[in-house]
Structure 1
Amino acid sequence: MAGFFSAKNRTAEEPTSCPPPEDPFEANLGLGTPADRVVYQVTATLLGYPSDELLRQARGLIDLARATEDQRFIEACGATVEWLVGRDAGSVRGDYVQEFDLSRRHSFHLSYWTDGDTRRRGVALARFKRMYRESGVLTDLHGELPDHLGVVLEFAAQVDAVKGRAALQAYRSSLELLRFALDDAHLPHAGLLAAVCRTLPGASPATREEIHRIAASGPPQETVGLDGYGGVDAGLSANDPRLLPILQNASTGEQP
């Protein structure tokens, strides 16, 4: 597995009837089901770089997926595994880098899709870091930014389902936009994103226009206690391409 988190030391709680908090990361959507956590962990693994380890274990992930009894997820896993192991490893790795590392259209960084300036992006990244820090679990991001989808999914699967699911729902528009982008590119990973979205409250938007209306304002930003984590202070150059908003061209229909 991806292995971002080293231990678990807290227990999530069932949802309460309290009013929703201003900070969407504090929402209590409940633990979800055991099958949801399988979806999160298997998806996190299949979205990772096709290392020798992943290529060796890929087919076994289909067996894990079958435990969910979600036929659409099982089929998406099978198609993604075939994408990974159906060709020589060099070709797979080259395609992965082109599609997911070099292309902005398929960014796995959730706040990339919503935050339109460097300062907001820095605050968003800090909010993810704060979630991991408050969990009390040692986190090694292996060079990834803290909003990387694989990291968030593994957190929800292994560490704190309530907090992880709240973070995913806070960036639901990012998940949906990524799902559309992967589907447009005829990449099987789109089915994995669809399965993740099905574990969260509310139906998936049917069109990009619906998603853009949701995403236009981005998730509410909780900034108390985050001084020193924005922009360059978060270790990010103001020219870092990861800070460019995918949605900046939404109104004109241009592709990033």
Structure 2
Amino acid sequence: MPSDAVLYQAAALCLTYPDEDFVARLPLLREAAPQLREFVDHAVLTPRRELAAHYMRVFESGNHHSLYLSRWQDGGARRRGTSPGTLKDVYRAAGLELTGEEPPDFLPAVLEFTARTGDTGLLTGHRVGLERLRSRLADLGTPYASVLHAVCATLPSRRRAGA
């Protein structure tokens, strides 16, 4: 398991809809993943309804900030090997089954997979899309950008990833 497993699991939680369980986990997230303190501190100070409304505005309003990795592929076309169907096969091969309603290319699911298996290949394979999402979130001025920044900081640089 990579040393960043706790960060990936915590980031997965930060990028899910902020319900009551999310709010209850904030103190644990703050201690477990110091790289996410900027976001967690914001979430602690923001009323849950306001946090939920912000989440909906950022992630549920079109594809501009989509958490579905297949939407970040170059030209909108899915690359071979990274389609949601193929991702399900990757999860099954690792002994994991998706139980929620979200598709397998949902970033929190990929982060949780990475945390549980130690396999950073899916994240690294989507590095360009993750950077594009991080950049758009930063341009928007949302605290969610700090979560993507922390995740991207753990991945090999584009130059090394392509080498």
Is residue 115–residue 121 contact of structure 1 (8 Å, CA) maintained in 2? no
Q: Which has the higher helix share?
A: 2
Gap change, CA 1:52 and 1:195, over 3 Å in 2:
same
The letter of the residue matching 1:183 is A
Distance 1:79 1:55 in 2: 15
Distance 2:158 2:98 in 1: 32
Gap change, CA 1:38 and 1:123, over 3 Å in 2:
closer
Q: Secondary structure at the match of 2:64?
A: helix
Distance 1:133 1:90 in 2: 36
Distance 2:55 2:96 in 1: 30
Name stretches of at least 5 consecutive residues in structure 2 with no aligned partner: none
Q: TM-score, normalised by structure 1?
A: 0.57
Distance 1:183 1:114 in 2: 20
Is residue 37–residue 156 contact of structure 1 (8 Å, CA) maintained in 2? yes
1:1-256 map, 5 Å = 33-34=2-3, 36-66=4-34, 73=35, 77-114=36-73, 116=75, 124-140=83-99, 142-158=100-116, 160-162=117-119, 165-202=120-157
Between the two proteins, the alignment pairs up a number of residues equal to: 160
The letter of the residue matching 1:57 is R
Distance 2:81 2:155 in 1: 26
Q: Percent identity?
A: 34
CA drift of 1:85 comes to 2.9
Q: What RMSD, in angstroms, separates the aligned Cα atoms of the two structures?
A: 2.4
The letter of the residue matching 2:22 is L
The letter of the residue matching 2:19 is S
Gap change, CA 1:189 and 1:123, over 3 Å in 2:
closer
Distance 2:146 2:77 in 1: 31
Distance 2:78 2:58 in 1: 27
Q: TM-score, normalised by structure 2?
A: 0.86
Distance 1:193 1:152 in 2: 13
Gap change, CA 1:85 and 1:110, over 3 Å in 2:
same
The letter of the residue matching 2:84 is L
Distance 2:49 2:95 in 1: 38
Q: Secondary structure at the match of 1:177?
A: helix
Is residue 63–residue 71 contact of structure 2 (8 Å, CA) maintained in 1? no
Name stretches of at least 5 consecutive residues in structure 1 with no aligned partner: 1-30, 67-72, 205-213, 215-256
Which structure is larger by alpha-carbon Rg, 1 or 2? 1
Q: Deviation per CA, 1:32-83, whole angstroms, max 9, x where unpaired? A: x32x1111011011111001011111122110014xxxxxx2xxx2221233
Gap change, CA 1:203 and 1:121, over 3 Å in 2:
closer
